[in-house]
Structure 1
Amino acid sequence: MSEHHTGPVEIGAPMNYAEHEKTYNMFLSATKFGTIALCALMIAMAAGFFTAAGFFGGLILFVFLVVAGTIILR
């Protein structure tokens, strides 16, 4: 059914720390840019629904905010 291991847990497969670092950095980047995109979407939706900007004004604002946020974060 299951394997029974005896001995210390530290004796196992060697860890690939470079791959862990790369995965963590990708996660941080996705979190940063995802947050920028969601904030830009909320601002653009507010501009589109509650002002005279309309759909296309909100769309232009969304694209502008995503590009500006991406440039600032780099």
Structure 2
Amino acid sequence: MAEQMNGPVETGAAMDYSEHDKTYNMFLAGAKYGTIVIVALMIAMAVYFFSGAGAIVSFLTFLVLSIGGSILAR
């Protein structure tokens, strides 16, 4: 069975909540914009492989989708 503790429990150092919030917001932004770039890359690869449009059109598709998605995600 578990022992019952009646005294103070050590909780470690005090939390820096403002730094925690900054880190969390940076993680969310990285996940959001990283997902946009990966989806744009997949679509651009599909344009290159399946449409025969060429590498330049595929690269322009990637740029347009990445920039447009980033603008819409703000």
How does the TM-score come out when normalised to structure 1?
0.86
Q: 5+ unaligned residues in a row in structure 1: which ranges?
A: 1-5
Query: Would you say how many aligned residue pairs link Structure 1 and Structure 2?
Result: 68
| 2:68 equivalent to 1:52 | no
What's the CA shift for 1:32? 0.1
Which of 1 and 2 has higher RCO (CA within 8 Å, sep 6+)?
2
Alpha carbon RMSD of aligned pairs, Å? 1.3
| 2:68 equivalent to 1:73 | no
Over residues 18-66 of structure 1, what are the superposed CA-to-partner deviations in whole Å (9 max), with x where a residue is unaligned? 0000000000000000000000000000001110211111000000000
Q: 5+ unaligned residues in a row in structure 2: which ranges?
A: 1-6
Matches within 5 A, 1:1-74: 7-10=8-11, 12-74=12-74
Q: Percent identity?
A: 49
